Chain A
Amino acid sequence: MSVVTLRVNGQEVAVPAGASLLEAARAAGVELPTLCHLEGLTPVGACRLCLVAPEAGGRLLPACATEAAEGMAIRTDTEELQRYRRMAVELFFAEGNHVCAFCVANGDCELQDVAVAVGMDHSRFPYRYPHRHVDASHPQFALDHHRCILCTRCVRVCDEIEGAHVWDVAMRGSQCTIIAGLDEPWGDVEACTSCGKCVDVCPTGALFRKEDTTAEKHPHAERAELLRRAREQHQWSNQ
């Protein structure tokens, strides 16, 4: 296995060729905040929380979606990066309708966790209070668009792990939204196997079990990686 060597915050690390900058940072003992990234799913670099700065200058790079290269040198903790990360989280809160007080995910929410991690105590941006809706047409689950941050974990887990591809992304800009099937009520989409993987990996309270009340959602984001590895390594078969 070939190896690439690079520097993270001045510290030399060696990672397998093909590893991401996020993996390199972790190898150097640096934890970067992430929201869209999830082990087991293809990285998309949507949330911009894991941005890192090349020491050579130039544009900032999403660590989850950038391959580590030989001789690279990156910094993960500059003042600029910290400012941008906090700004990105503030924009998530300002963009949707996130009311932790009665959210199903309160206390077990990755958006809450990163807000704490980046030191956000309020949003400097005016809240948009967009008009969104709740799709509760599925018999077991519901999607509350108010709480969706468009991380697309649901889209990827349904496509890459379950193979049903119920979810997709429609529209652009502020109208951008997750859709089920051909923009149908979730309960009408025959492709849905009701496996619940999308609920398990959703980082906020956007996807939840209908019986869950305030603070009762306990996601299992680790299942995506568990299933991918099990499938690749044939852990559950005789082959």
Chain B
Amino acid sequence: MTRTVLIDPVTRIEGHAKITLHLDEGGHLVDARFHVVEYRGFEKFCEGRPFTEMAGITARICGICPVSHLLAAAKTGDKLLAVAIPPAAARLRRLLNLAQLTQSHALSFFHLSSPDFLLGWESDPAKRNVFGLMAADPDLARAGIRLRQFGQQVLELLGGRKIHSAWAVPGGVRTPLSAEAKAWILDRLPEARATVRLALDLYKRLLDGPLQREQRVFGDFPSLFLGLVGEGGRWEHIDGTIRVRASDGTIVADGLSEDDYHTFLGEAVEPWSYLKFPYYRPLGYPDGMYRVGPLARLNVCDAIGTPWADAELADLRARSGQVATSSFAYHHARLVEIVACLEAIEELVNDPELMTGRVRSRASLNRNEAVGVSEAPRGTLFHHYRVDDDGLIQKVNLIIATGQNNLAMNRTVAQIAREYITEPVGPDATIPEPLLNRVEAGIRCFDPCLSCSTHAAGQMPLRLELRAADGSLVAERCRG
């Protein structure tokens, strides 16, 4: 009889999901699936609302990366107004997104993922979390928390609040950066840099030591990578154009506009998950699997453009390949992106254009349809609105980073399960927790945000199901 092992809920991610491991009649692993079990319906209930509300509404999708939705919505609003935003506003928005990337990556690395690396895959699950990290290495935990706080504080200095600010609006932003806020940022930057230096040194020692197997088996497979690039192919996070690069380094497509996303992205659905399965349309489904997010941004760009970040990018490429194909490298990519963000923040706050002139362009509705894009911490985010002549939303499509990684996340889970479940699993056998944790950790590489991607409250708890060949549930194990 076949079985399905259920991991439900998956812990230390944002949102609710489960993993099923499917065993055949001989107890051999045949498949693994990552199911997103929450549904939110934002695309539907935004219909009929004024487009000017979209930034405020969609920011509420998520408490971790509201800024990403805010920026994508504001950029879509810019296009509906058909205005060019003032130069200071463009820089202020960039600063906002850099702070957002910093705080979100710090959360993913220090709070959610580092307990696995630093406390061990086999450690007590009750203590394998940020509180366990505080007990084991209080200085590192404090530094990580303060790094996230730095990013959050910059968000508050700009938008008036850390979470769910509505500061970015169609046409620009609401308020400029104050001189006091600028001084605070410059004052705290050295500490933030020291923390990411500490984390990189520590993480590289782990990569050279106990994490070698993980790099090889946590989702190492060829795929496309998609992300924004700026002028000259530089690392980009809010403006620029879309580039698609293959694992062998070939640039498959370049200079793509978000306006044409429907020509190169398709969205498939599967009956077992609320999360859609976007794919690169020219290669069809599911061959058009692509990855987005920090690793994809580093893979598609030619250079970052700031000295320390470029040195770290070169180191990442030396370790993981010119195009890093292991999903485990997402963790490393996050740290490199924090470096890039801190350097870019320093450049921006010293840019005289940041503090000058208008910050908002005013106009009425001038277009009925627009697509906006931004790089969320987890990857490329598309907002597509169609409005009537009064500016009321008729149709919304949100393509979320986590959704775009869906195919790759499923492949990662399956690869890890195959690596660690090599013996047939008997009908009454249980699967040890450390193995389940590794399967979960495969998902954590992507730092998925399911609250966003299914358009949750709470944390991500883990359920593992064991299913028979006929699909019936034989056993399950829950925690969280």
Contacts and interface: CB of A to CB of B under 8 A. Distances in A.
B52 A212 contact: yes
B364 A102 contact: no
Q: DSSP class of A's interface residues: helix, strand, loop or mixed?
A: loop
B52 A102 contact: no
B82 to A, nearest CB: 14
A210 B390 CA distance: 10
Contacts of B164: 101
Contact of B52 (A133, A139, A187, A211): A211
B48 A101 contact: no
B170 A213 contact: yes
B345 interface: no
Interface in A139-195: 139, 142, 144, 187
A188 B57 CA distance: 29
B392 interface: yes
A116 interface: no
A215 interface: yes
Interface in A192-227: 210-216
B52 A210 contact: yes
Contacts of A187: 390
Contacts of B166: 102, 213-215
Contact of B55 (A133, A137, A213): A213
A137 B390 contact: yes
A215 B362 CA distance: 17
A101 B63 CA distance: 13
A134 interface: yes
Interface in B432-468: none
Given A102-B60, A139-B364, A214 B53 contact: yes
Given A102-B60, A211-B362, A133 B48 contact: yes
Nearest to A136: B390
A137 B389 CA distance: 8
B53 A102 contact: yes
Interface residues of A, number: 18
Nearest to A132: B48
B56 interface: yes
Nearest to B160: A215
B52 A101 contact: no
A216 B131 CA distance: 40
Interface in B334-393: 362, 364, 390-392
Contact of A210 (B50, B60, B174): B50
Interface in A9-50: none
A102 B166 CA distance: 8
Contacts of A137: 390
A124 to B, nearest CB: 22
Interface string B159-170: 000001010011
B368 to A, nearest CB: 13
Given A102-B60, A213-B169, A136 B392 contact: yes
Interface of A: 101-102, 104, 133-134, 136-137, 139, 142, 144, 187, 210-216
Which 4 A-B pairs have CB atoms at the shortest separation, nearest pair first?
Answer: A214-B56, A102-B56, A214-B166, A136-B390
26 contacts: A101-B56, A102-B53, A102-B59, A102-B166, A133-B48, A134-B49, A134-B50, A134-B392, A136-B391, A136-B392, A137-B390, A139-B364, A142-B390, A187-B390, A210-B50, A210-B391, A211-B362, A212-B52, A213-B55, A213-B169, A213-B170, A214-B53, A214-B55, A214-B166, A215-B166, A216-B169
